Amino acid sequence: MYCRETDLKRADAELLMIGYGNSLRTDDGAGPAVVQRLSNLLPSQYSGSVEVMSCLQLTPELAAHMASFRRVVFIDASVAIPPGRIAIHRMECEESGSQLGHYFTPGILLTIAASVFGASPQAWTAAVGCQSADIGDQLTPTVIAAVERLARHLFRCVIGLIDTGVFSPEMFEGSNVAVGSE
Amino acid sequence: MPQTITIDGVTRIEGHAKITIQLDDAGRVYDAQFHVTQFRGFEKFVQGRPLTEMPGIMARICGICPVSHLMAAAKACDDILAVQIPPTAEKLRRIMNLAQMIQSHALSFFHLSSPDLLFGMDGDPKQRNIFGLIRDHPDFARDGIMLRKFGQDIIAKLGGKKIHPAWVVPGGVSAPLTEELQDSILKEIPSAIERIDRALDYFHQIEGRYPAEEDAFANFPTLFAGLVTADGLLEHYHGPLKFVDQDASLVAELNPADQRHYGSLIGEAVEKYSYLKFPYFKPRGYPDGIYRVGPLARLIVAERCGTRRADMELGAFRTRLGRSPQSSFHYHWARLIEILYGIEMIQRLLQFPDILNTHIRARARPNRLEGVGVSEAPRGTLIHHYKIDDNGLIQWANLIIATGHNNLAMNRGVRQVAERFVDGNKLQEGMLNRVEAVIRCFDPCLSCSTHALGQMPLRIELCKADGEVCDVLQRD
């Protein structure tokens, strides 16, 4: 029989924000760009409770890392919303599906964190509508502006979390419609 | 009336491919083909780029095994510079190469192939996937994730990031190892050994359940190729390239200094139905010069591993399967043995007295106009070959990717499995899963970009020659 481990991680840090995408495909790099901006905005004294990280794609070992946090935000570029728009949604585990290559979705990572590592962080997706995914290492002006707005919004949410213990990123630009535009 | 079954696209592999199975009038399989339907253009678009950019560009070929391309590219550049890199730099490159192998093998075995082994080839496809795995076998899934994390963390610690690190450079590496990083990697070794030991124990409980698959999963005599050490041991970075026959007897060998002449042994054919080239052992012609590379091939070309635990496991492997097992089903076990070897070898390399030396790069201008780099990627032997002009700009490049070496064997394997399991008169999902599963044994990596990889729903149609659909299987 296979052995069960007892060293499951406990969530002891407040917030993990993961920006992912390919920074060599123009606006697909919006997620890492938001993280880069956040890392400049966040004061160093938050480093023990808030972590930002960027990666090219989501990989399964991220689930192990997520298990140390109470909350996770996945920041990505999207072609499903208009360029420059921002959509923030609360998300849940993915409970089914049969297809898998080497690419993992936020929902699968949440499922792995819960089933394999015994952790159930609250999670959100924050998407930036992209205008171009052509080859290039510069964001388009529309997305640069959206990246700045989203980074500042998430920064304010972090301040709120530290000050009040409340984290509500989906309350964006005075609305809970979860969509912001220029 | 002749019919064709198309599996488009193949699931749980990296990249985009389809399989077609041709049936005769009686519904029996008479041919099958594995088509790689995506196009890579790296050999062409690197032309005109400076030599020094090649490792960084070539690493971008793949988000799964960038380190492998980085390694072969850097070795080709070393050859053009005509430098011998410092011994410490070679050890550090070896550590990163082994870490890459561990993380790649862990993903392939635990998350792409183990659902078939744990739930059965005929298991419900709604369970036989990552969700079923983490629901019913969470401890097994955790070990797979943590082994992959072990490899990925080493790559990130050495190279600064997990994917596309730029730390391996022509002439060596760009930064030395610190004592702090050395300690941090060494302290993870015991738990990594525990995890792979558990996985091997578990594998031994289930691997005997698949005699039909062992018998028919690309089970035919071929040559095998891979690097070995000068003493004939398992090797992944540098050494003679050895070809052996189905009895593991030596057929040909290219010493490192002669590997510029790989073209004397390896020919490259093309077929209209696939963008993936068909390398073959040239002295035997095409397609008779079929050979295999990768974990199984490496264990066959090597006399032994050279580390204690891996050699014990290799002993069990050979006791059960013989010196030179021909079934590609055994790639799975070979992959686990290589993970064990990789962990042991990383520990050994980290304990060399010179591992913290700061002389880690040899510097030179190009001293040759042509260079070849050969290393072992997780999936097999990887060859990069560049020619430059007097200004150091790339004029021509040729890449022979590990998956390409196995192309002939994958095609023949698909046909063998189809002949054994597919009944053209009535499609069943389990039959077609086996056709895909034989491909997964080789763990082919076809992509140059993985971030955009989306869902790959599977629809299989059985059609008459006039296009009339006789039967359909749909997998969402």
A122-129 and B3-8: which strand pairing? unpaired
Nearest CB among B129, B162, B163 relative to A100 is that of: B129
Non-local (6+) Cβ contacts of B122 within 8 A are B428, B429, B430, B433
* CA gap A48, A69 in Å, rounded: 11
Q: What is the DSSP string of B177-206?
A: PPHHHHHHHHTTHHHHHHHHHHHHHHHHHH
- B455: contact with A, CB 8 A cutoff: yes
Residues 10-39 of chain A whose Cβ lies under 8 A from any Cβ of chain B: 20-22, 24-25, 28
Interface test with B, best of A25, A61, A62 (most B CBs within 10 A): A61
- B141: contact with A, CB 8 A cutoff: yes
Tens-binned pLDDT, residue by residue, of chain B (476 aa)? 567 767 666 655 555 667 777 777 777 777 777 776 656 677 888 899 999 889 888 887 776 778 999 999 999 999 999 999 999 999 999 999 999 999 999 988 998 889 889 998 888 877 887 788 888 999 999 999 999 999 999 999 998 766 667 789 999 999 999 999 999 999 999 999 999 999 999 999 988 899 999 999 999 999 999 999 999 999 999 999 999 999 999 999 999 999 999 999 999 998 877 778 889 999 999 999 999 999 999 999 999 999 999 999 999 999 999 999 999 999 999 999 999 999 999 999 999 999 999 999 999 999 999 999 999 999 999 999 999 999 999 999 998 888 889 999 998 998 898 888 887 777 777 777 888 888 889 987 765 322 222 233 345 556 655 556 666 665 44
Cβ neighbours around A36 below 10 Å, total: 16
Tokens of A97: 């599906």
Residues of chain B in contact with residue A96, where contact means CB-CB under 8 angstroms, are: 126, 131
Nearest CB among A2, A25, A115 relative to B135 is that of: A115
Distance of residue B124 Cα from the nearest chain A Cα, in angstroms? 10
What φ, ψ does residue B439 adopt, rounded to 5°?
-65, -40
Does A96 sit within 8 Å of B145, measured CB to CB?
no
Cβ neighbours around B148 below 10 Å, total: 24
pLDDT band at A3; cut points 50, 70, 90:
very low
B3-8 and A179-180: which strand pairing? unpaired
Q: Which of B281, B277, B255, B254 is nearest to B267 (CA)?
A: B281
* CA gap B118, B168 in Å, rounded: 38
Q: Which of A109, A125, A123, A94 is nearest to A60 (CA)?
A: A109
- A95: contact with B, CB 8 A cutoff: yes
Dump pLDDT digits (tens) for A77-130: 999 999 999 999 999 887 665 455 556 889 989 999 998 999 989 999 999 999
Is the Cβ–Cβ distance between A52 and A71 less than 8 Å?
Answer: no
Distance of residue B404 Cα from the nearest chain A Cα, in angstroms? 19
Does A115 sit within 8 Å of B134, measured CB to CB?
yes
Cβ neighbours around B457 below 10 Å, total: 13
Does B138 sit within 8 Å of A101, measured CB to CB?
no
- B453: contact with A, CB 8 A cutoff: yes
Residues of chain A in contact with residue B7, where contact means CB-CB under 8 angstroms, are: none
Non-local (6+) Cβ contacts of B373 within 8 A are B71, B72, B73, B74, B75, B76, B77, B78, B79, B383, B384, B385
What φ, ψ does residue A16 adopt, rounded to 5°?
-120, 130
Minimum CA–CA partner of B454 in chain A: A103
Does A111 sit within 8 Å of B129, measured CB to CB?
no
- A111: contact with B, CB 8 A cutoff: yes
* pLDDT at residue A148, as a whole number: 96
Q: What is the DSSP string of B248-283?
A: S-EEEEE-GGGGGGGGGTEEEE--TT-SS-EEEEGG
- B108: contact with A, CB 8 A cutoff: no
Whole-Å CA distances, B41 to B44, B73, B398: 6, 16, 11
Does A99 sit within 8 Å of B129, measured CB to CB?
yes
* CA gap A28, A33 in Å, rounded: 10
Residues of chain A in contact with residue B142, where contact means CB-CB under 8 angstroms, are: 5, 64, 116-117
Tokens of A49: 């409770």
Does B107 sit within 8 Å of A111, measured CB to CB?
no
Nearest CB among B60, B148, B456 relative to A61 is that of: B148
- A60: contact with B, CB 8 A cutoff: yes
- A177: contact with B, CB 8 A cutoff: no
Distance of residue A144 Cα from the nearest chain B Cα, in angstroms? 21
Distance of residue B126 Cα from the nearest chain A Cα, in angstroms? 6
Dump pLDDT digits (tens) for A5-17: 333 445 679 999 9
A50-55 and A13-20: which strand pairing? parallel
Residues 319-338 of chain B whose Cβ lies under 8 A from any Cβ of chain A: none
Q: What 3-state DSSP class applies to B370?
A: strand
What φ, ψ does residue B277 adopt, rounded to 5°?
-70, 165
Residues 109-138 of chain B whose Cβ lies under 8 A from any Cβ of chain A: 111-112, 125-126, 128-131, 134-135, 137-138
Residues of chain B in contact with residue A55, where contact means CB-CB under 8 angstroms, are: 162-163
Per DSSP, B376 falls in state E
Q: What region does B36 belong to: left with phi over 0, alpha with psi -120 to 50, or beta?
A: beta
Does B141 sit within 8 Å of A116, measured CB to CB?
yes
- A115: contact with B, CB 8 A cutoff: yes
Minimum CA–CA partner of B200 in chain A: A2
Cβ neighbours around B13 below 10 Å, total: 23
Query: ipTM exceeding 0.85?
Result: no
Minimum CA–CA partner of B202 in chain A: A2
Does A55 sit within 8 Å of B148, measured CB to CB?
no
Does B142 sit within 8 Å of A5, measured CB to CB?
yes
Global pTM reads 0.86
Residues of chain A in contact with residue B13, where contact means CB-CB under 8 angstroms, are: 101
Please tell me chain A's helix, strand, coil percentages from 3-state DSSP, rounded to the nearest 5.
30, 25, 45
Interface test with A, best of B64, B104, B114, B145 (most A CBs within 10 A): B145
* CA gap A32, A74 in Å, rounded: 10
Minimum CA–CA partner of A107 in chain B: B131
